[in-house]
Each structure stands twice: as C-alpha cells, then as structure tokens.
Amino acid sequence: MSEAIHFDLTALRRAYADGTLTPEQVIEEVLRRADNARHPNVWIAKTGRERLLEMARALPPAPTEQLPLYGVPFAIKDNIDLAETPTTAGCPDFSFLPPESATVVKRLIAAGALPVGKTNLDQFATGLVGVRSPYGVCESVFDKRYISGGSSSGSAVAVAAGMVTFSLGTDTAGSGRVPAAFNNIVGHKPTRGLLSNRGVFPACRSLDCVSIFAGSCHDAQAVLDVAAGFDSADPYSRSRPKGGVTFSEKFHFGILAPAQREFFGDTEAAALYEQAIARLRGCGGEPAEFDYTPFAQAAALLYAGPWVAERRWALGEFFDQHGDSIHPVVRGIIGGAAKHDAVAAFDAQYRLQALLQTTREIWKKLDLLLLPTTGTTYRIEEVLADPVRLNSNLGHYTNFMNLLDLAAVALPAGFRASNGLPFGVTLIAPAFSDDALLSLGGRYHFTLGGNIGVTPGKISGQPLPKEKSEGVLLAVVGAHLRGQPLNHQLTSRRARFVRQTKTSPHYRLYALANTQPPKPGLRRVAEKLPHGIEIEVWALNEAAFGSFVAEIPPPLGIGALELEDGTSVKGFLCEPIGLEGARDITEFGGWLAFRQSPAK
C-alpha cells in the first residue's frame, strides 16, 4: 500500500473485486494518511484503529450489490453525529456524546462505508473561511499560507489530501462549496431536505443541507444515491420525485454579464471564469447573460434577517451561559440576532418570496447557471485581520442558494498561473436537479483533465445518467461505434452518446467469422485480463431501446455488461456458438484498434 493507491470509488471497487486489497489494508493506510503532519488540524476526533478494523472485518469477504460503498473510507464534519464519538460543532465546552449516529451516517455505514472520524470546522458552522476553530486553522492543500475555506474545512482537506474517498459537510451559505473550490475537488450541495438533517446540529435549521465532498461527480453521485431518502423523523425532509430534472443535449446556461462580475481584483479568476464558460459550451451548452440582481438581493438577506436569529435559536441557553467559550467572531455574528424582531423577520420573508417569484421567470429561459464559486481567495493572515468583510466577499456567489431552494455542484475550473491556487465554478439549477447537475458536472470535469485535490490521482470516469430520467444505457463495442457502419441505428433513434470507457478486465473480444458488416463478439470470462475492452455508452428511451434490440441478429444479444468502474449497463454479448471459428482479438483492447491494425 502506498500513495500510489488512490481512494477514488472506482479504484477501490476494482481492487476489492480483484482481491488485491482488503478493507483492513485500506483502513491501515487511511490511518497512516490521517496522521499527515502537513495537515495537522483536519481531525477533531478519529474513530480509532480497533473500532475501524472491527467494522472492516464485519464486512463480507467480497463486495456485493447490497453494499455499494463496500470498504469505502469517509470523514464526517463534526456537527454531524457519529455514535460513540463526541459532537463538538467546533466548541469543546459544547461537546456531547450522541446516543446514535445521524440518519445520513447510518445509511452510509449500512452501505459498507467506514467512518474514519470527525473533521474540523468553523465553529457552529458559522463562516466560509476555516479559521474560526479552537482546534486549529485548516489550510489550503496547495499553499499553507492560504485558507482552506469553510465552514466544512476539515472535510474538504481530508478528501483533497487523499485521506478518504469522500466526506460529509454541511452547507447553509456555501460551506459545502467554497472549500471544494479552494482544494480542487467536487462539492455537491443537494436539494434542501434530500438528505436527512436528523442528527445534525443546526446552523439555520430551515436552510441547512448535508453536503458531499468527493474527488469526482461519479463518486458524489454514488454517495448521494445511498444517503438520500425521506426521513419522517426530520420535519424538513423531502422525497426525491420520480423522473427528476434533466438537461437536453443542447442546454441553455446563464452567465454573469460583464458589469455584474465581481472578482475583487483577482484578474486570473476572471480569466478562468471565461475559460469555464467556453468549456461548458463545449459540453453542448449555449450561454446567455442573465440579471444577477435578484440573486444578490436574496444573498444579502441571509445575515440581515430572521436567519441570524435562527442561528441564535440553535445555541439556546449555551449562548448566554458560555459566551466566553464561543469564538469571538462567531459570537459577534450570532449575537447580532438581538436586533431582529418579529416584524423584521416577516419583512425579510416577504422580500424573499418576491425574489423567488422574480427568479422563477429566469428559470423559464435557462436550464442552469454557471457562476464562480468564489470571486477570489485570501491568505490566512488577511482573513484574521479582516474576518467579517472578507468572509462576506466569499459568499457573494453562494449565500442565496438555499434561500431560493436551488441545487448545486461546485467543480474545479483550473489554476492561477501566478500562485498555483485552484479556481472553482458552480453549476446551479432548481430543486431536484441533483442527478442532472452531477451528470453534466462529470462531463465538464472530465474535459478539464480530472485532477483530484493535490493528489496524483485523476477521475476514473464520468457519472452515467440515470436510466429513469435519461433512458436505457447501452454499451456498444463494434459496428455501432461512432463512425462505424451501424451507428445510424442509434442516431436514427435519437440515442445520445454518453461517454467512451472500458469494460471490467473480465471480457474477451473476438472477430466473428462471416458477418457483414464485420462485427466483434464479447464474452465474459472468470479470469482477470490485463485490461478491459474499449466501448461506448449510449442512452436511448425505452421505446427506442426495444426497437433497437429487435433488430439484433444472432448470435449477438443484449445482457448485463460490467464497466471498469464496477457499474453495469446493458451491452452486446455473444452466444458461445457464435464464437466457433472466431479470432480472439482481446490483445488489441478494442474493435477500432483491431480494424486499424495491419495485422487484421
């Protein structure tokens, strides 16, 4: 085990399936990495070696479909309960031992995930900087002079430094997105209520979201699929609707008008935003300027209305009785609730409702927005010297989102040439667009190169669209590939190309005899081969898929095909009788490589 072993979900699934890694081995490496002297302030409490190993040994000897997060290490922001581990919310005197884990943590553990420990945060999840903690300041994984972002500081650094596969944060004003931008990872802020808040100490109970940090949208989607679900014990829980939101192949995305772009003097960030617009256009989008004014007005309400009082409510008597235990900046912010009376609270809610109506008109014209996650970043010493104003600057493009009931995915978007620090953008769309945002975000991240944090790892692939919302997923291996003679059978049915990838390394490829046009046959084998076979994944609606299958001649048929990331889609397979007289061409790695070879 070494730093060369990546903890991304695809790599772990492959290693567990092949038997080259065990969960116990992964835990030993996780604990070694967690003691990283370069990032000493990530953890508030670790689960403990023996407890983690006991959980790892309790897993079955091999992955199963019932355990989609089998042996996957994850971290938990320390305002989310983990049984047998104190919850501090970043305040030692506030610490308590929860009787059980939060609902979202229970679901992840039940799916096979292994909780490594509790991570540092801006105290009581109040801040976007990561410096407001008695447990120490978290730093950018790229430069220790710069902030990590907050409030979910330790959760983001744990993923970006390669300590865990994913982590849980919370997001009220941007805490699940700003640290993602500053550490070159993915941060998914789900639709409000999609993940249960039961067992989460609140910042603003009516707005809080449990968020997901991961190296890729693919991994974030896998975590979301496990963690989401209605919880009757959470009054703010919401059910995931059937179908959900989808984006067409040609989608429209909103961009800031030049006059409304605020980068606080960071000219490199401004240039990287322009590059992000061009990159999303390359994914099939059509950009259009929109008026950011109502979104900015909604953002301004967050710390000037009833939601500051909601933070004060969460602390109850502790705020009055233990004021000296609270970080002075946090105490000053929450103490401001005293100036907001019930009249002001209703006034703010009425203004928010009017802004909701205004923004609904914008969504009639646009599928999503592409915004900078933050306009700039800051050195730790700068934030300590001017804590409130600079923190407010970081929320310029994030504070409105939960107020307006939106979903978002924060994505890497390149690096500044002057200091090597990452820049990030966020895809934003109305509630329950989570799957569509992660799918598009995965394509976007893939075009950028797919770096994960500061690790040497890269994303293994893109998240596949959901069958329920975007059709049946079909893997093709030969004559139906793009540019090949039967590809028209897909395009004529309006099938959509999803991505190029490989099968798992358990398939052999054969050139079939006496077929016109020439075709290959794919056969699954028990042995592990050196590589998978190149394929393409396409999406068809159910009617188109049915008519397509009806045209397939024997000995070919459609079955379940395992991809290199461990997921399965429909795909071409060959009956054994069809392989008589066929040539084994597995060594070429794919049909196109074979057809282009002089040795064919």
**Quick check: is 175 catalytic?**
yes
User: H or E element: which one contains 425?
Assistant: strand 422-430
Is 77 a known active-site residue?
yes
Cβ proximity of 168 and 188 under 8 Å: no
For position 267, which CATH number holds? 3.90.1300.10
Residues 367 and 290 in one domain: yes
Same domain, 394 and 513: no
Low-confidence ranges of the chain (pLDDT < 70): 1-4, 243-244, 460-470, 599-600
- Judgement on whether residues 441 and 504 belong to the same structural domain of the protein: no
283 and 426 within one domain: yes
Together in a domain, 136 and 222: yes
The residues pairing with 249 across neighbouring beta strands, listed in sequence order, are none
* Catalytic position from the list 46, 77, 189, 502: 77
From the candidates 175, 196, 433, 439, which is the catalytic residue?
175
Instruction: Give the tokens for residue 457.
Output: 């790892």
The question of whether 144 is a catalytic residue gets the answer no
Whether 298 and 404 have beta carbons less than 8 Å apart is answered as yes
Instruction: Sheet with 583-584: list strands edge to edge.
Output: 520-524, 507-511, 583-584
Range of the domain at 555: 471-595
pTM here? 0.82
pLDDT at 467: 43
pLDDT tens digits, one per residue of 87-99:
999 999 999 999 9
Of 151, 153, 155, 504, catalytic = 151
Which DSSP state fits 554? T
Q: Burial letters for 522-551: b for 16+ Cβ neighbours within 10 Å, e otherwise? A: bbeeeeebeebbbbbbbbbeeebbeebeee
Task: Kindly state whether residues 59 and 109 are assigned to the same domain.
Answer: yes
What pLDDT does 303 receive? 86
Q: What is the pLDDT of residues 231-260, one digit of tens each?
A: 999 999 999 887 668 888 789 999 999 999
Q: Answer whether residue 283 is part of any domain.
A: yes
Cβ-contact 50, 94 below 8 angstroms = no
Domain ends where: 385, 414, 448?
A: 448
Q: What is the pLDDT of residues 524-572, one digit of tens each?
A: 998 889 999 999 999 888 888 888 998 898 889 999 899 887 778 999 9
* The pLDDT of residue 438: 94
Q: Do 220 and 108 belong together in one domain? A: yes
- Is 280 within 8 Å of 370 (Cβ atoms)? yes
Same domain, 388 and 357: yes
Q: Are residues 60 and 196 in the same domain?
A: yes
